[in-house]
Amino acid sequence: MILNDGIPLELRDGKLFLHGAALQSSQRTAQDMRDVSSPSSAEEIIYLMYRNIFDKRHAELIAKHKIRHDITIIFPKMLGNEFSKTLGHYHSISKTVSYTEVYEVLAGKAHFLLQKVSGNKVEDAVVLEANEGDAVIVPNDYGHMTINPTTEILAVSDLQSTLAAADYQPIKNLRGAAYFETKRGFVKNTNYTNHILRILKAGHIKAKYFGSKKPLYSIFVEAPEKFKFLNEPENFLELMRLAIAG
């Protein structure tokens, strides 16, 4: 399967190739997910992470703008009663707010679960339903995870600042995100209070902000200034609001 990511990526037997060469990945198994999900076969691979993927021609541009481009492959597994998902994390603080991140669905269908909490109290939780080609911006101060609610492989790309760090512990401490997605729908995680959940479509960000239907990687190469929000989130609070507007 050729992935429309702006560089010649091929997904073959669940593994990623660039210019025909296999790329190195790290993996998350069901055992790695034990703090945030239902029991499952311990050694089963849930997803693969490919870090800092770029065309060598763009190495200087990537470094200049302090951007990292990653690919995640999420297999259509079940974690007990849950659909497969990523571990989930929050981002470190820039100046006054946390860093953000932007995702694109390259193959399959994704549910991006975003949540803003104070302690264990949910201030906002939203699921953005995204199809192939859709982009999702994670707003500042939101934790997030990606869910594969289908029987097909899900491939997503993301761009983020190299200055940002991921904090997995808050979600682990509460045994997962505020909601678990099962075949029967979303189930509340009772370790949280004040449950709120909005479910939205994710198809508007590319047109409204990026003004292009091209892959995010291609947009970055052509117009890196459009990605300043990744390094300066405090200067793009209106964009953060737009990202999860109904």
pLDDT bucket at 40, cuts 50 / 70 / 90: low
pTM above 0.85, yes or no: yes
Amino acid in position 61? L
- How many other C-beta atoms are found inside a 10 Å radius of the C-beta of residue 213? 10
The C-alpha atoms of residue 5 and residue 188 are separated, in whole angstroms, by 34
Average pLDDT rounded to a whole number, residues 17-35: 94
pLDDT bucket at 53, cuts 50 / 70 / 90: very high
Residue 42 has pLDDT above 80, yes or no: no
- Listed in sequence order, the residues at least 6 apart from 14 whose beta carbon sits closer than 8 Å to its beta carbon are 48, 73, 75, 153
Residue 7 has pLDDT above 70, yes or no: yes
* C-alpha closest to that of 230 among 138, 109, 96: 138
Amino acid in position 239? L
pLDDT bucket at 38, cuts 50 / 70 / 90: confident
pLDDT tens digits for range 154-189 = 999 999 999 999 999 999 999 999 999 999 999 999
pLDDT tens digits for range 131-140 = 999 999 999 9
The C-alpha atoms of residue 20 and residue 6 are separated, in whole angstroms, by 15
Residue 39 has pLDDT above 80, yes or no: no
Share of the chain above pLDDT 90, in %: 91
Contact 102, 220 (CB under 8 A): no
Average pLDDT rounded to a whole number, residues 204-220: 93
Average pLDDT rounded to a whole number, residues 11-29: 95
Question: Half-sphere exposure (CA, 13 Å, Cβ side) for 64?
Answer: 8
- Listed in sequence order, the residues at least 6 apart from 223 whose beta carbon sits closer than 8 Å to its beta carbon are none
